[in-house]
Structure 1
Amino acid sequence: MSETVDRESLVRRLLERAAPSRARTEDVVVVPLFAVVVALVLGGVAMLATDVDLATIGRAYVALAYGSLGSLGAISETLTSAIPLVLAGLGLALGFRAGLFNIGAEGQVLMGGMAAVIVGFAFTGLPFSVHLPLALLAGIVAGAAYAGIAGWIRAATGAHEVILTIMLNLTSYRLVDYMLRLPSIQRPGRADPISNSVLPSAELPRLLTVIDANLRVHAGLFLMLAAVFAVHVLLFRTKLGFEFRASGENPDAARVAGMKSGVLIVAVMALAGALAGLAGANQVLG
């Protein structure tokens, strides 16, 4: 009897902790701002350690702000660079919510980018409405499959995902380098590992070419925003997301509640890899 009560109490506490709640102001505003301030302070300390005077440090930070936000071109480049970082970061955040430390986003980005670029140049004769989604899908699937390997091994053997994903990172470097040197992929006339160019029908359209043809921000920005919204809905408005968070809060209680930890591990890793793969696809198609 007491064992049943203990289990019910454990599951009840788990449900309370994993239940969605409104994000507090300090979580969404204060903490990020504090992190930025700390980063700037530490950067200044590092520069002071190299005998740089305060005026030079001030000019460096002014240049940093102007170079990232000081013009339309700077904002365009900042957004373009942020797209793959946000997508890969979403994948990491998804894993962290489920109690998994996916350190393999870099390898998953590489695999997603490799798959997307192959589809982007090898599938000729396709219309834009088919070719671009197909290339993006290839990146998503490649990233999900590569991360799923780590998830499956973690679920099947208990090997830690940090070690697994770090090892898979190293494997992805070598694999991509090898593939880029294959005659069917390497750009003709080049000795370095570089692929053929993606066809225009597989490129993400640029958004501000009417203003300036050199502005590189592209439609991947909308994909990024959609992914942010989708991950939020998944985590806080779906049963699967609840199970992810519950498993991350207390794996033992999640198992007592009937959640299949092995399936959840593979699913979380695959979804995280899919987001990282989409980041890689955006990088090569944008």
Structure 2
Amino acid sequence: MSKKIQALVIPITAVILGLLFGALIMLLFGYNPVDAYIALFQGAFGDSFYLGETIRQATPYILVGLSIAIAFKAGLFNIGAEGQLLMGWIGAVSVALSFDGLSKWIHLPLALLAGIIFGAIWAFIPGILKATLRVNEVIVTIMLNYTALYIFNYIVQNVLTNQMDKTKEIPASASLQSPFLQEMTQYSSLHWGILIAVGCALIMWLVIDKTTFGYELKSVGFNQNASKYAGMSVAKTIVISMIIAGGLAGLAGAMEGLGNYGTAYVLPTSPGTGFDGIAVALLGGNSPIGIIFSAILFGALKVGSLNMPAVAGVPNELVNVVIALIIFFVASSYIIRWAMDKFAKKGAKTK
């Protein structure tokens, strides 16, 4: 079986196995898995409103998935997408609130650019430390996640407001919200950010597979010593990959601030979108196109799970178990690959 077919079959198999084992767990606890999954599907795709909510949920997932993937291509594990998302969120909202009165054609791009820059700067810190001092990026990004949360809340309460827990709504000139899309989807919270997210995925696909930088990125990820011997700047590639990763995660934060919520508010804990992006990238095989479909699946699971308690009487927390099982099977893809190879060899012998 070719590698391209395996790359497609393995995540699909992981999803199926995750759903099957999730059904077994539901049975063990006395729930009806058929009713649960029907409720989940209806809650994600049952009508245009739920479909809009699913796509809206998938929007930041696409961007944080791309953030994780671009760093992974360079051999880096960007655990800091969560913090970069928060910095992008607060950066975009700050610009949106500070420049009211501008034309939408100027104000919205400026706010989006602020989100990208804030996220990129936050990712530059672990990137430059990794490139120059070989500091482990996992440790630095984890610490920066907590730092970003505290900075986010401080700016909300002490810069954008006067000890308030929520900023005022951003002006319409900086908003991604679309009356057209909302009317199409029975007034869901779907916004124009989905077009930006899909566009970024296509651009990243071109960059990774069709450019010299993409080749250098993958080369550094495979073998830094060989890449350096071939004349590539490993340090430069590491820093640039982290800046791009941070910019994408920051843009995901801008989607939340300018599209989903239209504001920034004090967060008792991190929203978790950046951490979910790790699972999205893993299931998508770190492929930009695969990440789009993976993000839609995770968006469907998150949104559809809200329908499970009311319709099927199943706690929506069980969806987190299903997600964990899917991740487990993707992470254990070598088992699936081994089983497929065995099956292929047995089939070849019987011919």
Question: What is the TM-score when the length of structure 1 is the normalising length?
Answer: 0.85
- Is contact 2:126-2:137 (8 Å) kept? yes
Q: Which residue of 1 aligns with 2:230?
A: 257
- Is contact 2:79-2:142 (8 Å) kept? yes
2:187 to 209, 214, 229: 214
Q: Which residue of 1 aligns with 2:42?
A: 66
Distance 1:172 1:239, change over 3 A: same
Distance 1:165 1:33, change over 3 A: same
The Cα of 1:59 is off from its aligned counterpart by: 1.0
Q: Which residue of 2 aligns with 1:109?
A: 85
Which stretch shows the higher mean deviation, 35-44 or 94-103?
35-44
Q: Work out which of the two has the higher radius of gyration on C-alpha atoms and give 1 or 2.
A: 1
Is 1:241 aligned to residue 241 of structure 2? no
1:42 to 21, 26, 36: 21
Amino acid at match of 1:31: I
The Cα of 1:115 is off from its aligned counterpart by: 0.2
Is 1:26 aligned to residue 12 of structure 2? no
1:144 to 79, 101, 120: 120
Amino acid at match of 1:197: E
Q: What is the Cα-based RMSD across aligned positions, in Å?
A: 1.7
The CA distance in 2 between the partners of 1:40 and 1:271, in whole Å, is 34
The CA distance in 2 between the partners of 1:35 and 1:87, in whole Å, is 22
Q: Which residue of 1 aligns with 2:157?
A: 181
Amino acid at match of 1:229: L
The Cα of 1:162 is off from its aligned counterpart by: 0.6
The Cα of 1:26 is off from its aligned counterpart by: 2.7
The Cα of 1:210 is off from its aligned counterpart by: 4.2
Distance 1:278 1:23, change over 3 A: farther
The Cα of 1:45 is off from its aligned counterpart by: 3.5
> CA-to-partner distance for each residue in 1:154-202, whole Å, 9 max, x for gaps?
11211111111101111111111111111x412x6x743x222111100
Amino acid at match of 1:285: L
Amino acid at match of 1:152: I
The Cα of 1:221 is off from its aligned counterpart by: 1.1
Identity %: 39
Structure 1 consecutive aligned stretches of length 4 or more whose deviation exceeds 6 Å? none
Amino acid at match of 1:269: M
Question: What SS does structure 2 have at the residue aligned with 1:135?
Answer: helix
Distance 1:149 1:61, change over 3 A: same
The CA distance in 2 between the partners of 1:74 and 1:237, in whole Å, is 36
> CA-to-partner distance for each residue in 1:221-240, whole Å, 9 max, x for gaps?
11111101110111111111
Question: What is the count of residue pairs matched by the alignment?
Answer: 257
1:198 to 159, 164, 170: 170
Amino acid at match of 2:34: G
The Cα of 1:44 is off from its aligned counterpart by: 2.4
The CA distance in 1 between the partners of 2:220 and 2:49, in whole Å, is 44
Question: What SS does structure 1 have at the residue aligned with 2:16?
Answer: helix
1:123 to 75, 78, 99: 99
Q: Which residue of 2 aligns with 1:135?
A: 111
Alignment of 1:56-95 (within 5 A): 56-95=32-71
Is 1:224 aligned to residue 197 of structure 2? yes
Question: Is there any run of 5+ residues in structure 2 with no aligned partner, and where?
Answer: 260-351
Amino acid at match of 1:52: G
